[in-house]
Chain A
Amino acid sequence: MSSAYARREDERLLSGRGRFVADMHMPGCLEAAFVRSPVAHGRLREVGCAAARLVPGVAGAWAAADLSAVSSCAVPAIGLPDLPPVPPTLLAGLSTPGAVAGRDWPVLATDRVRYAGEAVAVVVGEDRYRAEDGAAEVKVVIDPLPAMVDTATALESPVTLFEGLSNVALEGSAGRPIDETVWREAAVVVEARYRQQVLLPTPMECRVFLAAPTVDGLTVWCSHQMPHRLHRELAALLRCPPDRIRVIVPDSGGAFGSKSPTFPEYIVAAHLALRLGRPVRWVEDRMESLLAATRGRGQDQRVRLAADADGHLLAYELAIDADVGAYPHLGSGLPLQTARMATGPYTTPRVHATVRSVLTNTMMTYPYRGAGRPEATAALERTVDEVARRLGLDPAELRRRNLIPPGSFPYDTPTGRRYDSGDYAAALELALRTLDYDGWRAEQARRRADPAARPLGIGLACYVERSGGEPGGLHEFGGVEACPDGTFVARCGGAAAGQSHETTFTDLVSEVLSVPATRVRLVEGDTGEVAEGMGSYASRTAQIGGAALQRAAKALIEQARLRAATLWELPVAEVAWSGGVLRPVRGVSPGLSLGELVRATGPLRVDERFEGDMAFPFGTHAAVVEIDPDLGSVHVLRLVAVDDCGVVLNPAAVHGQALGSAVQGIGQALYEGVPYDEAGVPLLPNGLLDYLLPTFAEVPPIEVLTTITPTPVTPLGAKGAGESGCIGTPAAIINAVADALRLPDPTLIQMPLTPDVVWRAARAAQGGFGGDGGTEGDQGVEGGR
């Protein structure tokens, strides 16, 4: 649809004229710094803020008990109750009342700390330097308790995070249990265990929040994915009439799923702004972010996959112990996404997935780009490759025999999903052709005959994912207004954090209206300007918000025709619309522009809400890797990503999303991981020098292609895009590495595939690529303690 490849937002963002919360000039603003627990688990004996209050430039310092004392609000309209706990999110069944009952998350720790980095006190100062000087003077006494930073430890431990309550916050399943005879009678059954390591979303801009009291309320600026949710939750927490709070999302430096909660720090800053009658800002720094921002993934999986002798998949079982962190929030239900997507793109008739969400002494797990689907894809695709290996079948051929055929949609999976549309085989074949799969297989054979050649591996991953959200959250707001000056304002309930909404949606609305895109302005991320909204997560804004805007623009044309008909005393059918101008069908009248119509008849504005259904984007990713077996280094030689997100609204935006997510997928496969010390504290003392993201130097040649299978669930035909690389790429790379090393057991390597892990796997597989034999069974497992 788009003819313009340059993004409209780039002129501002690339010339340094973006407007970010941390850069906003706000007279009288206090800056907050949080004092954080240095241990993962312990009883909080004392938090002493007296010395901090004496530091020059410090305006105040508080522990939880100090803030719960009777407080007065500087804004009379607002009740300002005691400091409330973090609101749990039961949105779309992603958590349950049973999971959160009795497990409140205090915004400042009260009697117990449950993760390293949990806030125990706050200091505000004239600037961040002063606030940090004050924070350094806060005295914290904690009696340590045993730290449980992985699911196995938390499941076995007699100590629980919440007295009298299990460390299992939630259990669930998808599909029906599989009869044992299926496994007994199958020609091949592969069993394996996988670790989907914990990842840190790591947006360039960490969390930021600024709250400024107004005469009768509060204005908040925040880099956030769901401004209306933040608005709603803050109003409830602060006992403030909703119309007295306004939440504005200015330019945002990335989110990747990590910026939709109402975080403890936000509640504290808003509370203090009202209490002190001054603006209060919190700008998270990178070290805080690595410790106390949300984490993604974190699953320990056990799988069983059965196939007949021809390679037809018969049954698949997936058992997940999910590491959901210290407090049950939205992330505790997130592994159910993995369970529901366990079927993948195959016709496997029997699939059963079970979930235990296990509390651990870490910051909470939360959606991170891909959110449950990468875990499903990695588990299934690695196991499918192993079935192929055992049967002596080419992995591409085994997939061909099992992909859901294009004539089968809508397709109801054994795990309860209804796939909307797809041509999975077309994506696979395009990926194979683009990669020159047969050529690389020939090169692999050549190298296998040459002992001096480095091992080469080819990995495939076919995936299907879900976009739009879950039932109960499948609607979005879109509005279009015609202005007297002939321009248009489009209003969207989403909030962009790098997804090119300004370009995509102004193009979309201008095309429906058949007016130049320069005459359309997008307004979003402002609860004062946009009546309602769900927000931007789950790859939903193009699919659902786009449909709402399309509907609103069409309705605007109809209303305009109706008004013109009344004005001209004609039947509506005799009023034509083209190029932004209304004309009587008959006659030679020059007609009326929409601006003229508004000037003549008053404001013209349409607000729409579109409710759709889930869509299921899919694709195939293929990777070629070369291994340095002596060092265990993995070199990705080539990556092909074929994605199908239905109708593409803006090719440049979709391409950028595919590329960026593929690089993050490479990050999961090869580099990113969080090791912990003995006390359960993340071992990242040097920040991003320890938590390694792929850099420009690590990005291989990546070819991104699309196939287009429109979805029937929205009139636009667009499915969500933007998470594909996180979903398909890790599995393709790990399969390529396993292929290069000819691993006899997929359990031998776990992500991230760091050189030490790969070297050990190579040694275990071959009895010593390195030339000096190996000790068996000592494969490194990330976070393995």
Chain B
Amino acid sequence: MKLPAFDYLAPATVGEAVDALAAAGRDARVLAGGQSLLLDMRLGRARPDALVDINGITGLGQVRVEEGALVAGALVRHRAFESAGVAPGPLGRLLSLAVADIAHPPIRARGTMAGSLAWAHPASEWCAMAVALDAEVELRGPAGERVAAARDFFLGPHATARAPAELITAVRVPLLDAGTGVAFAEHRRTAFCFAQVAVVTALTVVDGVVAGARIGLAGCADRPVRARAAERSLLGAAAAPPEGGGTPPPGHPFAQAGRIAAEHDAAPVAEPYADPEYRRQAIAVLVARTLSGAVADLRAHGEADREAGGAR
């Protein structure tokens, strides 16, 4: 499990980093938090010729709100999202709910959101978040800057639309409107391991009726999935969790949405202890539960969100 030999480059600017990545004849990889890449190198799954360490580049570590979106630079660590105050309103809450289930504190202190998107693990919480919320990935390559929509970015396990010479410089996540409730649920075998299934949900309610829904699924296909069929099934439905709480019973719109997400949106891949049939069950349950959770979140925070939104 020792690292094989590689060249190590530590550029001082984004331009130098892109040059290093683009240098001919090199299989170069970006080193940000290193929490996945270094493990893959130790396991022999990645054997890059060179690592381009971007940790010395100033300006990539900032989180800011700009033009209705949260913009997280490439060096923003997971733990930056542990406080709901990282973004105003429902988005900050959703990010802070999800980050608590990303690995454990030492990894959250080092790993980055942009790195998670670049690594594109099918069970990644941030990747599911990105597709659910229509995030954008800002890239800089030899030909200049471009922006990729999350929905076009993930191509399969560990495969993205990022060209080898491109550097992700930031992730842009649109803010969620007041009137939106959020929830996150993850199912895994122990606190230590990857998710079998995780669900990101944001539900916008107008006059007690679902006016908009965003549902992102992790661990439900070979890439993150936006559960669009399930979202559509919810539009116009009463935003009311089942009486007495608990898992919505069959026939409840939230349970139906869960079943639709499991059967129509997801394309589960078999893994030990999680075959497709079981995964579909877990997806249906978690989607239904997050929908109830989102309504509860809205009831708890909706008014404060509206007041804060009015002040913005």
Take A287-B1, A686-B43, A755-B273 as given contacts and tell me if A630 and B247 are in contact as well, using a CB distance cutoff of 8 Å: yes
In the bound complex, CA of A694 to CA of B1 (Å) = 23
Residues of chain B within 8 A of A529, CB atoms compared: none
Residues of chain A within 8 A of B44, CB atoms compared: 136
A685 touches B273 (CB 8 A): no
Residues of chain B within 8 A of A671, CB atoms compared: 189-190
Nearest CB on B from A738, distance (A): 19
Number of A interface residues, CB 8 Å?
A: 39
A759 touches B191 (CB 8 A): no
In the bound complex, CA of A652 to CA of B190 (Å) = 28
Q: Which of B22-30, B170-178, B274-282, B294-302 contacts A (4 or more CB under 8 A)?
A: B274-282
Nearest CB on B from A709, distance (A): 37
B278 touches A689 (CB 8 A): no
Q: Which of B2, B190, B275, B282 contacts A695 (CB 8 A)?
A: B190
Nearest CB on B from A589, distance (A): 65
Take A452-B244, A675-B272 as given contacts and tell me if A754 and B4 are in contact as well, using a CB distance cutoff of 8 Å: no
A132 at the B interface (CB under 8 A): yes
Q: 8 Å CB contacts to B: which residues of A635-691? A: 671, 673, 675, 683, 685-690
B187 touches A631 (CB 8 A): yes
In the bound complex, CA of A675 to CA of B275 (Å) = 13
A754 touches B273 (CB 8 A): yes
B190 touches A694 (CB 8 A): yes
Nearest CB on A from B109, distance (A): 18
B189 touches A685 (CB 8 A): no
B-contact 0/1 string along A537-567, CB 8 Å cutoff? 0000000000000000000000000000000
In the bound complex, CA of A285 to CA of B44 (Å) = 14
A755 touches B278 (CB 8 A): yes
B206 at the A interface (CB under 8 A): no
In the bound complex, CA of A771 to CA of B251 (Å) = 10
B5 at the A interface (CB under 8 A): yes
Take A686-B43, A755-B278 as given contacts and tell me if A698 and B190 are in contact as well, using a CB distance cutoff of 8 Å: yes
In the bound complex, CA of A275 to CA of B207 (Å) = 84
Q: Which of B191, B246, B282 contacts A631 (CB 8 A)?
A: B282
Residues of chain A within 8 A of B244, CB atoms compared: 452
B1 touches A755 (CB 8 A): no
Taking CB as reference atom, which chain A residue is nearest B275? A756
B194 touches A689 (CB 8 A): yes
In the bound complex, CA of A415 to CA of B255 (Å) = 55
Nearest CB on B from A777, distance (A): 14
In the bound complex, CA of A452 to CA of B248 (Å) = 11
B163 at the A interface (CB under 8 A): no
B249 at the A interface (CB under 8 A): yes
In the bound complex, CA of A129 to CA of B6 (Å) = 12
Taking CB as reference atom, which chain B residue is nearest A689? B193
Taking CB as reference atom, which chain A residue is nearest B244? A452
Take A132-B2, A285-B1, A452-B244 as given contacts and tell me if A771 and B250 are in contact as well, using a CB distance cutoff of 8 Å: yes
Residues of chain B within 8 A of A630, CB atoms compared: 247, 281, 285
Nearest CB on A from B127, distance (A): 18
Nearest CB on A from B37, distance (A): 14
Take A128-B2, A285-B1, A755-B278 as given contacts and tell me if A692 and B190 are in contact as well, using a CB distance cutoff of 8 Å: yes
Q: How many A-B residue pairs have CB under 8 A?
A: 82
In the bound complex, CA of A697 to CA of B188 (Å) = 12
In the bound complex, CA of A268 to CA of B119 (Å) = 40
Q: 8 Å CB contacts to A: which residues of B229-262? A: 244, 246-247, 249-250, 255, 259
Take A630-B285, A694-B190, A695-B190 as given contacts and tell me if A287 and B43 are in contact as well, using a CB distance cutoff of 8 Å: yes
Taking CB as reference atom, which chain A residue is nearest B194? A689
Nearest CB on B from A636, distance (A): 12
Residues of chain A within 8 A of B196, CB atoms compared: 755
Q: Which of B43, B187, B275 contacts A685 (CB 8 A)?
A: B43
Take A287-B1, A756-B278, A759-B278 as given contacts and tell me if A692 and B192 are in contact as well, using a CB distance cutoff of 8 Å: yes
A-contact 0/1 string along B1-39, CB 8 Å cutoff? 111110000000000000000000000000000000001
A133 touches B5 (CB 8 A): yes
From A631, A632, A697, A754, name the one whose CB has the most chain B CB atoms within 10 angstroms.
Answer: A631
Take A287-B1, A631-B285 as given contacts and tell me if A755 and B187 are in contact as well, using a CB distance cutoff of 8 Å: yes
Residues of chain A within 8 A of B191, CB atoms compared: 695, 697-698
Taking CB as reference atom, which chain B residue is nearest A677? B272
A772 at the B interface (CB under 8 A): yes
A690 touches B281 (CB 8 A): no
Nearest CB on A from B268, distance (A): 12
Residues of chain B within 8 A of A287, CB atoms compared: 1, 43
In the bound complex, CA of A780 to CA of B270 (Å) = 13
A129 touches B2 (CB 8 A): yes
From B44, B190, B244, B274, name the one whose CB has the most chain A CB atoms within 10 angstroms.
Answer: B190
Residues of chain B within 8 A of A285, CB atoms compared: 1
Q: Which of B189, B193, B247 contacts A755 (CB 8 A)?
A: B189
Residues of chain B within 8 A of A759, CB atoms compared: 278, 281
B282 touches A286 (CB 8 A): no
A498 at the B interface (CB under 8 A): no
Residues of chain B within 8 A of A754, CB atoms compared: 189, 273
In the bound complex, CA of A771 to CA of B254 (Å) = 14
Residues of chain A within 8 A of B246, CB atoms compared: 452
From B244, B259, B273, B274, name the one whose CB has the most chain A CB atoms within 10 angstroms.
Answer: B273
A79 at the B interface (CB under 8 A): no
A-contact 0/1 string along B187-217, CB 8 Å cutoff? 1011111101000000000000000000000
Q: Which of A685, A695, A771 contacts B192 (CB 8 A)?
A: A695
B-contact 0/1 string along A690-707, CB 8 Å cutoff? 101111011000000000
In the bound complex, CA of A671 to CA of B272 (Å) = 12
Nearest CB on B from A290, distance (A): 11
A405 at the B interface (CB under 8 A): no
Residues of chain B within 8 A of A686, CB atoms compared: 39, 43
A770 at the B interface (CB under 8 A): yes
Nearest CB on B from A727, distance (A): 22
Q: 8 Å CB contacts to B: which residues of A425-484? A: 452
Residues of chain B within 8 A of A631, CB atoms compared: 187, 281-282, 285
Taking CB as reference atom, which chain A residue is nearest B249? A771
B-contact 0/1 string along A748-774, CB 8 Å cutoff? 000000111101100000000011100
Taking CB as reference atom, which chain B residue is nearest A756? B278
Residues of chain A within 8 A of B259, CB atoms compared: 772
Take A630-B281, A697-B190 as given contacts and tell me if A756 and B273 are in contact as well, using a CB distance cutoff of 8 Å: yes
In the bound complex, CA of A760 to CA of B259 (Å) = 18
Q: Which of A133, A687, A690, A756 contacts B4 (CB 8 A)?
A: A133
B278 touches A683 (CB 8 A): no
Q: 8 Å CB contacts to B: which residues of A115-164? A: 128-129, 132-133, 136
In the bound complex, CA of A129 to CA of B41 (Å) = 13
In the bound complex, CA of A685 to CA of B187 (Å) = 20
Residues of chain A within 8 A of B39, CB atoms compared: 686
Nearest CB on A from B65, distance (A): 33
B192 touches A770 (CB 8 A): no
In the bound complex, CA of A692 to CA of B196 (Å) = 13
Q: 8 Å CB contacts to A: which residues of B39-86? A: 39, 43-44
Nearest CB on B from A36, distance (A): 12
Taking CB as reference atom, which chain A residue is nearest B45? A685
Nearest 7 A/B pairs, CB to CB: A697-B191, A675-B272, A756-B278, A285-B1, A630-B285, A754-B273, A129-B2
Q: Would you mind naming 8 contact pairs between A and B with Cβ atoms under 8 Å apart?
A: A133-B4, A630-B285, A631-B187, A755-B187, A755-B189, A755-B196, A756-B273, A770-B285
Residues of A in contact with B (beta carbons under 8 Å apart): 128-129, 132-133, 136, 285-287, 452, 630-633, 671, 673, 675, 683, 685-690, 692-695, 697-698, 754-757, 759-760, 770-772, 780
Residues of B in contact with A (beta carbons under 8 Å apart): 1-5, 39, 43-44, 187, 189-194, 196, 244, 246-247, 249-250, 255, 259, 272-275, 278, 281-282, 285
Beyond known contacts A133-B4, A686-B43: 19 more, CB 8 A cutoff: A132-B2, A136-B44, A630-B247, A630-B285, A631-B187, A631-B282, A631-B285, A632-B278, A673-B272, A685-B43, A689-B193, A695-B190, A695-B191, A698-B190, A756-B273, A757-B273, A771-B250, A772-B250, A780-B273
